Amino acid sequence: MNLIDFKKRHIKYDWKTIFVGVHENYFSKDIISDYAVELMENGDESEFVSKLAWGVSSEDLKKVMLGIKDNYFSQLDEKSAILKDESRKLRFVCLSKIKEECKEENELLNKIAEFYGNHHYPEEMVSFVNYMPQEVPTTKVDMVNRFYEFLKLEKDLVSSYS
């Protein structure tokens, strides 16, 4: 996933999004430099952003992440509602991308199940995860339709964060 995925969906992002995305493995560390370059192109001439634009080594990642938090949202606890909203944005963009890339029901449901397992088993996704027991008899079509409805509701929600 990268910043263009957010732009395509008209979802706003900032350092909080980048921080949560790297922390939760939605992004590689390279996204930090990509965003810093984007900020510089938009006129940010701060020393911190300029340094980040040159790249972030794996050895410096923890220090850089702490610097991002300290510089842009030091008052937020890592369990804050604002950072949870950022996580929800990331999940929406990632699941939307999965929806676009998967043209066949089995592939889509398998990718959703993989995402579900890799992202701490979000309870609100159970109704369209193919290996989870369902409360009522369910077909693949039912699960795909539930997924589409979930994405629609999530889009409305994350759009309201901006």
Is residue 83's pLDDT more than 90? Answer: yes
Pair 88, 127: CB distance under 8 Å: no
In percent, the amount of the chain with pLDDT more than 90 equals 90
Q: Report the C-alpha gap between 18 and 35 in whole angstroms.
A: 8
26 DSSP 8-state letter: S
The pLDDT confidence band at residue 85, using thresholds 50, 70 and 90, is: very high
| Angle (nearest 5°) at CA 144 between 140 and 146 | 115
Q: Report the C-alpha gap between 125 and 102 in whole angstroms.
A: 18
pLDDT given at position 162: 59
Cα distances from 117 to residues 12, 42, 77, 91, 138, in angstroms, run: 26, 38, 25, 13, 20
- Which residue would you say has higher pLDDT here, 90 or 162? 90
Span 35-60, average pLDDT: 95
pLDDT digits (tens, 9 = 90+) for 105-161: 999 999 999 999 999 899 999 999 999 988 888 899 999 999 999 999 999 999 887
pLDDT given at position 120: 87
pLDDT given at position 134: 87
Q: Helix, strand, coil shares of the chain as percentages rounded to 5?
A: 70, 0, 30
Pair 132, 126: CB distance under 8 Å: yes
**Which of 36-40, 99-103, 134-138 bottoms out in mean pLDDT, i.e. has the lowest?**
134-138
